[in-house]
Amino acid sequence: MDKQEIFIFSSIGRKALMAISGAFLGFFLFLHLLGNSAAFWGAKAFISYAADLHSLPVLVLLFEVVLFCFFTIHIALALISYYENLRARPKHYSCHKNAGGRTWGSRTMPYTGLLILLFIIFHLLAFRGVKPVEIAALVRHNLSLPLTAFYYLISLAALALHVSHGFWSLWQSLGLGLRHTDLLRKSSLTISIIGGLLFSLIPLLCLLSANFLVSTP
Ligand code: HEM
């Protein structure tokens, strides 16, 4: 069978897989944001959320395996598409032409993607495998360091930019983008800005408030 005849190797198949994996990663971000928002109710609430999560090890492991698979698929497809675009591009430009309809989000996808990958490695090294009882103090400690907080804020801005185009692409893949172009573009941007700001509140509060995530006996 010709490689192009196998659905997942066809450009439509790859687009669909990119959309499905992106949607799952977005779903994870939504759950993570929901869980992290326990921090706004204080250190005890944050620790209790982490303890609840750790009390379901099989479910969490299953979710992590699926997350890792979708993450790997998403990166592999992005690399293939980046490589194909490079090959298809004419070698010499007399000037840089701005392809119609391209946005900041779409143009920077490979770079914001790379920043997010580096952020996740750094983030997992810092927080994965920590005991629930220590989690609030560790988040507080790490994110009240100006350099780390700044790194989080830059990475979260990159994430918001990446997700804004990701959402838009998802609508396109579902065939919705053609009808309500403007509305969907604006809603993608709004959702990603709100998500980015809510995530950013944690490093900002760690940096600026002396009481945030500090345990009271
Ligand atoms: C200020 C924002 C964030 C804070 C305070 C935060 C905090 C945490 C903490 C405390 C954990 C460990 C949870 C536990 O084991 O109990 C964790 C895990 C994780 N975080 Fe974040 N996070 C933030 C943003 C992000 C973002 C933006 C991403 C993705 C781009 C992300 C991806 C992950 C992943 C993949 C895990 C591992 C999940 C697992 O092992 O099941 N986090 N985060």
- Give a yes or no: residue 2 inside a domain: no
The ligand 1 atom at the shortest distance from the C-alpha of residue 201 is 1
- Give a yes or no: residue 40 inside a domain: yes
Does the beta carbon of 171 sit less than 6 angstroms from any atom of ligand 1?
Answer: no
**DSSP codes, 179-200:** TSHHHHHHHHHHHHHHHHHHHH
pLDDT tens column, 50-90: 999 999 999 999 999 999 999 999 999 999 988 888 888 76
Nearest-10 Cα torsion for 203, 207, 210, 213: 20
Residue 8 Cα, ligand 1 centroid: separation in angstroms? 30
Does the beta carbon of 25 sit less than 6 angstroms from any atom of ligand 1?
Answer: no
Enter the DSSP assignment of 210: S
Q: Which two tokens stand for residue 85?
A: 């675009």
* 88 or 111: which leads in pLDDT: 111
Q: Rounded to whole angstroms, how far apart are CA atoms 31 and 216?
A: 27
Look at residue 7 in the predicted model and tell me its pLDDT.
65
- Give a yes or no: residue 94 inside a domain: no
Does the beta carbon of 26 sit less than 6 angstroms from any atom of ligand 1?
Answer: no
pTM: 0.90
Range of the domain at 37: 8-89+107-208
Does the beta carbon of 107 sit less than 6 angstroms from any atom of ligand 1?
Answer: no
pLDDT tens column, 139-179: 999 999 999 999 999 999 999 999 999 998 888 887 776 67
Q: How many other β-carbons are positioned within 10 Å of the β-carbon of residue 58?
A: 7
- Give a yes or no: residue 99 inside a domain: no
- Give a yes or no: residue 97 inside a domain: no
Domain count, the chain: 1
Share of the chain above pLDDT 70, in %: 88
Look at residue 92 in the predicted model and tell me its pLDDT.
56
Q: What number is the average pLDDT over the span 128-135? A: 94
- Give a yes or no: residue 101 inside a domain: no
Q: What is the CATH number of the domain that holds 55?
A: 1.20.1300.10
- Give a yes or no: residue 98 inside a domain: no
- Give a yes or no: residue 52 inside a domain: yes
First and final CA of the chain: distance in angstroms?
67
The ligand 1 atom at the shortest distance from the C-alpha of residue 200 is 1
Residue 36 Cα, ligand 1 centroid: separation in angstroms? 8
Q: Which two tokens stand for residue 117?
A: 């990958």
Does the beta carbon of 213 sit less than 6 angstroms from any atom of ligand 1?
Answer: no
Q: What is the mean pLDDT of the chain?
A: 90
